[in-house]
Structure 1
Amino acid sequence: MRSLTPTRAFGIALAVPQFVIGVWAVLSPRGWYDSFPGIGPALAAAEPPYNAHLVTDAGAGFLATGGLLLGACLLGGAAEMRVAAAGYLLFAAPHLVYHALNPSPLLDAANDVLNVILIGAQVAGAVTLIALTTHRKEPAWAS
Protein backbone atom coordinates (compact mmCIF):
# COMPACT_ATOMS: atom_id res chain seq x y z
CA MET A 1 0.00 0.00 0.00
CA ARG A 2 1.24 3.46 -0.82
CA SER A 3 1.46 6.25 1.73
CA LEU A 4 -1.83 7.90 2.56
CA THR A 5 -1.80 11.37 1.05
CA PRO A 6 -4.70 13.84 1.17
CA THR A 7 -5.46 13.02 -2.49
CA ARG A 8 -5.55 9.27 -1.76
CA ALA A 9 -7.75 9.87 1.30
CA PHE A 10 -10.12 11.94 -0.84
CA GLY A 11 -10.32 9.14 -3.43
CA ILE A 12 -10.91 6.54 -0.73
CA ALA A 13 -13.69 8.72 0.71
CA LEU A 14 -15.34 8.69 -2.73
CA ALA A 15 -14.82 4.96 -3.20
CA VAL A 16 -15.98 3.50 0.11
CA PRO A 17 -19.66 4.54 -0.04
CA GLN A 18 -19.86 3.37 -3.67
CA PHE A 19 -18.31 0.02 -2.70
CA VAL A 20 -20.58 -0.45 0.34
CA ILE A 21 -23.70 0.39 -1.68
CA GLY A 22 -22.63 -2.19 -4.25
CA VAL A 23 -21.97 -4.94 -1.73
CA TRP A 24 -25.34 -4.27 -0.09
CA ALA A 25 -27.26 -4.37 -3.40
CA VAL A 26 -25.50 -7.52 -4.64
CA LEU A 27 -25.89 -9.46 -1.38
CA SER A 28 -29.40 -8.27 -0.50
CA PRO A 29 -31.15 -6.89 -3.58
CA ARG A 30 -34.58 -6.73 -1.94
CA GLY A 31 -33.23 -5.22 1.27
CA TRP A 32 -31.31 -2.60 -0.73
CA TYR A 33 -34.36 -1.78 -2.86
CA ASP A 34 -36.65 -1.47 0.18
CA SER A 35 -34.23 0.53 2.36
CA PHE A 36 -31.57 2.40 0.35
CA PRO A 37 -29.97 4.71 1.50
CA GLY A 38 -30.80 3.39 4.96
CA ILE A 39 -31.86 6.77 6.33
CA GLY A 40 -34.72 8.94 5.20
CA PRO A 41 -36.95 7.94 2.33
CA ALA A 42 -36.24 4.74 0.40
CA LEU A 43 -34.89 6.17 -2.85
CA ALA A 44 -34.77 2.98 -4.91
CA ALA A 45 -38.29 1.94 -3.83
CA ALA A 46 -39.51 5.32 -5.06
CA GLU A 47 -39.01 3.93 -8.59
CA PRO A 48 -41.15 0.78 -8.61
CA PRO A 49 -41.50 -2.00 -9.48
CA TYR A 50 -38.83 -4.07 -7.77
CA ASN A 51 -36.69 -6.12 -10.16
CA ALA A 52 -34.05 -8.36 -8.55
CA HIS A 53 -32.05 -8.65 -11.77
CA LEU A 54 -31.92 -4.89 -12.31
CA VAL A 55 -31.03 -4.18 -8.67
CA THR A 56 -28.26 -6.79 -8.67
CA ASP A 57 -26.84 -5.44 -11.94
CA ALA A 58 -26.96 -1.86 -10.65
CA GLY A 59 -25.32 -3.01 -7.43
CA ALA A 60 -22.58 -4.68 -9.45
CA GLY A 61 -21.96 -1.34 -11.18
CA PHE A 62 -21.67 0.43 -7.83
CA LEU A 63 -19.40 -2.35 -6.57
CA ALA A 64 -17.16 -2.26 -9.65
CA THR A 65 -16.69 1.50 -9.69
CA GLY A 66 -16.14 1.63 -5.94
CA GLY A 67 -13.76 -1.32 -5.95
CA LEU A 68 -11.66 -0.02 -8.82
CA LEU A 69 -11.45 3.46 -7.33
CA LEU A 70 -10.59 2.05 -3.91
CA GLY A 71 -7.90 -0.24 -5.35
CA ALA A 72 -6.39 2.55 -7.43
CA CYS A 73 -6.29 4.90 -4.44
CA LEU A 74 -4.70 2.28 -2.17
CA LEU A 75 -2.24 0.72 -4.61
CA GLY A 76 -1.85 2.86 -7.70
CA GLY A 77 -0.14 6.02 -8.72
CA ALA A 78 -1.65 9.24 -9.98
CA ALA A 79 -2.39 7.83 -13.44
CA GLU A 80 -4.25 4.82 -12.06
CA MET A 81 -6.23 7.02 -9.69
CA ARG A 82 -7.10 9.35 -12.56
CA VAL A 83 -8.30 6.47 -14.78
CA ALA A 84 -10.40 5.03 -11.93
CA ALA A 85 -11.87 8.49 -11.22
CA ALA A 86 -12.74 8.81 -14.91
CA GLY A 87 -14.56 5.47 -14.71
CA TYR A 88 -16.39 6.67 -11.61
CA LEU A 89 -17.32 9.85 -13.47
CA LEU A 90 -18.69 7.78 -16.36
CA PHE A 91 -20.99 6.11 -13.84
CA ALA A 92 -21.93 9.19 -11.82
CA ALA A 93 -22.57 11.71 -14.62
CA PRO A 94 -25.36 9.75 -16.38
CA HIS A 95 -26.76 8.87 -12.95
CA LEU A 96 -26.93 12.61 -12.16
CA VAL A 97 -28.54 13.48 -15.50
CA TYR A 98 -31.19 10.79 -15.05
CA HIS A 99 -32.18 11.95 -11.57
CA ALA A 100 -32.05 15.64 -12.52
CA LEU A 101 -34.43 15.05 -15.44
CA ASN A 102 -36.68 12.43 -13.84
CA PRO A 103 -38.01 13.38 -10.40
CA SER A 104 -39.62 10.47 -8.63
CA PRO A 105 -43.38 10.64 -8.28
CA LEU A 106 -43.09 8.93 -4.88
CA LEU A 107 -40.60 11.39 -3.32
CA ASP A 108 -41.32 14.89 -2.18
CA ALA A 109 -39.51 17.69 -4.01
CA ALA A 110 -37.03 18.29 -1.18
CA ASN A 111 -35.82 14.68 -1.25
CA ASP A 112 -35.57 14.71 -5.04
CA VAL A 113 -33.45 17.87 -4.86
CA LEU A 114 -31.28 16.41 -2.08
CA ASN A 115 -30.73 13.27 -4.15
CA VAL A 116 -29.59 15.34 -7.15
CA ILE A 117 -27.29 17.40 -4.93
CA LEU A 118 -25.67 14.28 -3.44
CA ILE A 119 -25.17 12.66 -6.85
CA GLY A 120 -23.84 16.01 -8.11
CA ALA A 121 -21.31 15.89 -5.27
CA GLN A 122 -20.15 12.51 -6.60
CA VAL A 123 -19.62 14.03 -10.04
CA ALA A 124 -17.77 16.98 -8.50
CA GLY A 125 -15.68 14.57 -6.44
CA ALA A 126 -14.67 12.58 -9.51
CA VAL A 127 -13.74 15.74 -11.42
CA THR A 128 -11.78 16.98 -8.41
CA LEU A 129 -9.86 13.71 -8.10
CA ILE A 130 -9.03 13.83 -11.81
CA ALA A 131 -7.75 17.38 -11.38
CA LEU A 132 -5.74 16.49 -8.26
CA THR A 133 -4.01 13.62 -10.03
CA THR A 134 -3.24 15.51 -13.22
CA HIS A 135 0.31 16.76 -13.10
CA ARG A 136 0.79 19.70 -15.36
CA LYS A 137 4.21 19.91 -16.90
CA GLU A 138 5.66 23.32 -17.38
CA PRO A 139 6.11 24.26 -21.03
CA ALA A 140 9.64 23.76 -22.40
CA TRP A 141 10.13 27.51 -22.78
CA ALA A 142 9.51 28.02 -19.02
CA SER A 143 12.42 25.88 -17.87
Structure 2
Amino acid sequence: MKPGSIKNWLRGGLLTLAALQTVVSVWQYVFPLSFYDDFPTVKLDPPYNEHLISDVGGLGLALTGMLYFAAWVLDSKVVLSALIGYLIYAATHFAFHVRHFDHFSLLEAFGVGTGLGIEVALALVLLYVGWRVHRAESAAVQALRP
Protein backbone atom coordinates (compact mmCIF):
# COMPACT_ATOMS: atom_id res chain seq x y z
CA MET A 1 0.00 0.00 0.00
CA LYS A 2 1.28 3.47 -0.85
CA PRO A 3 1.81 5.98 2.01
CA GLY A 4 -0.94 8.24 0.63
CA SER A 5 -3.49 5.45 0.54
CA ILE A 6 -2.53 4.35 4.05
CA LYS A 7 -3.15 7.88 5.30
CA ASN A 8 -6.50 7.96 3.46
CA TRP A 9 -7.46 4.68 5.13
CA LEU A 10 -6.33 6.07 8.50
CA ARG A 11 -8.37 9.24 7.95
CA GLY A 12 -11.43 7.15 7.03
CA GLY A 13 -11.08 5.06 10.18
CA LEU A 14 -10.67 8.15 12.37
CA LEU A 15 -13.74 9.72 10.79
CA THR A 16 -15.73 6.51 11.35
CA LEU A 17 -14.84 6.44 15.07
CA ALA A 18 -15.54 10.17 15.36
CA ALA A 19 -18.94 9.86 13.66
CA LEU A 20 -20.03 6.98 15.90
CA GLN A 21 -18.84 8.86 18.99
CA THR A 22 -20.61 12.03 17.81
CA VAL A 23 -24.02 10.37 17.58
CA VAL A 24 -23.84 8.80 21.04
CA SER A 25 -22.21 11.80 22.76
CA VAL A 26 -24.59 14.41 21.35
CA TRP A 27 -27.52 12.20 22.34
CA GLN A 28 -26.11 11.77 25.87
CA TYR A 29 -25.31 15.44 26.31
CA VAL A 30 -28.33 17.10 24.68
CA PHE A 31 -31.03 14.52 25.46
CA PRO A 32 -29.77 12.56 28.51
CA LEU A 33 -33.21 11.28 29.57
CA SER A 34 -33.99 10.14 26.03
CA PHE A 35 -30.63 8.37 25.89
CA TYR A 36 -31.44 6.58 29.15
CA ASP A 37 -35.00 5.72 28.11
CA ASP A 38 -34.50 4.97 24.41
CA PHE A 39 -30.97 3.66 23.77
CA PRO A 40 -31.15 -0.14 23.57
CA THR A 41 -29.99 -1.85 26.80
CA VAL A 42 -29.17 1.35 28.76
CA LYS A 43 -32.40 1.00 30.76
CA LEU A 44 -30.98 -2.30 32.01
CA ASP A 45 -28.27 -0.35 33.87
CA PRO A 46 -28.68 1.28 37.32
CA PRO A 47 -31.19 4.16 37.81
CA TYR A 48 -31.09 7.29 35.65
CA ASN A 49 -28.74 10.11 36.68
CA GLU A 50 -28.91 13.17 34.37
CA HIS A 51 -25.67 14.67 35.68
CA LEU A 52 -23.71 11.49 35.10
CA ILE A 53 -25.06 10.88 31.60
CA SER A 54 -24.58 14.48 30.43
CA ASP A 55 -21.04 14.53 31.89
CA VAL A 56 -20.23 11.32 30.00
CA GLY A 57 -21.74 12.90 26.87
CA GLY A 58 -19.50 15.96 27.34
CA LEU A 59 -16.43 13.78 27.71
CA GLY A 60 -17.48 11.86 24.61
CA LEU A 61 -17.80 15.14 22.71
CA ALA A 62 -14.27 16.07 23.78
CA LEU A 63 -13.03 12.74 22.47
CA THR A 64 -15.03 13.30 19.28
CA GLY A 65 -13.30 16.65 18.78
CA MET A 66 -9.91 14.99 19.17
CA LEU A 67 -10.77 12.32 16.59
CA TYR A 68 -12.06 14.85 14.04
CA PHE A 69 -9.00 17.05 14.54
CA ALA A 70 -6.69 14.04 14.15
CA ALA A 71 -8.48 13.07 10.92
CA TRP A 72 -8.16 16.62 9.63
CA VAL A 73 -4.47 17.25 10.34
CA LEU A 74 -3.25 13.63 10.09
CA ASP A 75 -0.19 14.52 12.14
CA SER A 76 1.00 11.16 13.42
CA LYS A 77 1.48 12.36 17.02
CA VAL A 78 -2.00 13.87 17.11
CA VAL A 79 -3.46 10.72 15.52
CA LEU A 80 -1.71 8.47 18.05
CA SER A 81 -2.77 10.54 21.06
CA ALA A 82 -6.41 10.67 19.90
CA LEU A 83 -6.45 6.92 19.26
CA ILE A 84 -4.81 6.07 22.58
CA GLY A 85 -7.45 8.14 24.38
CA TYR A 86 -10.25 6.56 22.37
CA LEU A 87 -8.89 3.05 22.89
CA ILE A 88 -8.72 3.53 26.66
CA TYR A 89 -12.33 4.72 26.67
CA ALA A 90 -13.57 2.00 24.30
CA ALA A 91 -11.73 -0.82 26.10
CA THR A 92 -12.94 0.18 29.57
CA HIS A 93 -16.49 0.63 28.26
CA PHE A 94 -16.33 -2.82 26.61
CA ALA A 95 -14.87 -4.39 29.77
CA PHE A 96 -17.67 -2.96 31.92
CA HIS A 97 -20.42 -4.25 29.69
CA VAL A 98 -19.08 -7.77 29.19
CA ARG A 99 -19.04 -8.13 33.00
CA HIS A 100 -22.62 -6.87 33.41
CA PHE A 101 -24.88 -8.91 31.14
CA ASP A 102 -26.96 -10.30 34.02
CA HIS A 103 -30.29 -8.79 32.89
CA PHE A 104 -29.60 -8.91 29.16
CA SER A 105 -31.14 -11.35 26.74
CA LEU A 106 -28.69 -13.35 24.65
CA LEU A 107 -29.45 -11.12 21.65
CA GLU A 108 -28.90 -7.91 23.68
CA ALA A 109 -25.63 -9.23 25.14
CA PHE A 110 -24.45 -10.31 21.70
CA GLY A 111 -25.35 -6.93 20.17
CA VAL A 112 -23.70 -4.85 22.87
CA GLY A 113 -20.63 -7.07 23.10
CA THR A 114 -20.17 -7.19 19.34
CA GLY A 115 -20.72 -3.46 18.79
CA LEU A 116 -18.37 -2.41 21.56
CA GLY A 117 -15.85 -5.08 20.57
CA ILE A 118 -15.78 -3.77 16.99
CA GLU A 119 -14.99 -0.28 18.31
CA VAL A 120 -12.05 -1.69 20.30
CA ALA A 121 -10.82 -3.74 17.34
CA LEU A 122 -11.05 -0.79 14.94
CA ALA A 123 -9.20 1.46 17.38
CA LEU A 124 -6.45 -1.17 17.75
CA VAL A 125 -6.08 -1.55 13.98
CA LEU A 126 -5.98 2.23 13.51
CA LEU A 127 -3.46 2.58 16.33
CA TYR A 128 -1.23 0.00 14.62
CA VAL A 129 -1.55 1.79 11.25
CA GLY A 130 -0.95 5.16 12.91
CA TRP A 131 2.15 3.81 14.64
CA ARG A 132 3.49 2.45 11.34
CA VAL A 133 2.88 5.83 9.66
CA HIS A 134 4.63 7.59 12.55
CA ARG A 135 7.65 5.28 12.31
CA ALA A 136 7.86 5.74 8.52
CA GLU A 137 7.66 9.52 8.84
CA SER A 138 10.28 9.54 11.60
CA ALA A 139 12.60 7.38 9.50
CA ALA A 140 12.15 9.71 6.50
CA VAL A 141 13.02 12.75 8.63
CA GLN A 142 16.09 10.96 10.04
CA ALA A 143 17.22 10.07 6.51
CA LEU A 144 17.15 13.74 5.53
CA ARG A 145 19.37 14.84 8.40
CA PRO A 146 23.06 15.23 7.61
The answer as to whether partners of 1:47 and 1:104 remain within 8 angstroms in 2 is: no
CA distance in 2, matches of 1:23, 1:71: 17
Q: CA deviation at 1:53?
A: 0.8
Pair 1:24-2:24 in alignment:
no
Calculate percent identity across the aligned residue pairs. Answer: 29
TM-score by length of 2: 0.81
Q: Partner residue of 2:128?
A: 131
Q: Partner residue of 2:82?
A: 84
Pair 1:53-2:51 in alignment:
yes
CA distance in 2, matches of 1:94, 1:15: 18
Q: Partner residue of 1:122?
A: 119
Give unpaired runs (5+ residues) of structure 1: 37-41, 139-143
CA distance in 2, matches of 1:64, 1:84: 10
Give unpaired runs (5+ residues) of structure 2: 1-6, 140-146
Q: CA deviation at 1:32?
A: 1.1
Q: Partner residue of 1:39?
A: none
TM-score by length of 1: 0.82
Pair 1:111-2:108 in alignment:
yes
The answer as to whether partners of 1:85 and 1:130 remain within 8 angstroms in 2 is: yes
- The size of the alignment, in residue pairs, is 130
Q: Over aligned residue pairs, what C-alpha RMSD do you find?
A: 1.9
Q: Which structure: greater helix fraction?
A: 2
Show CA shifts across 1:37-85 (max 9, x none).
xxxxx22112131110111112122212222111111124122111100
The answer as to whether partners of 1:46 and 1:104 remain within 8 angstroms in 2 is: no
The answer as to whether partners of 1:25 and 1:55 remain within 8 angstroms in 2 is: yes
| Greater Cα shift, 57-66 or 5-14 | 57-66
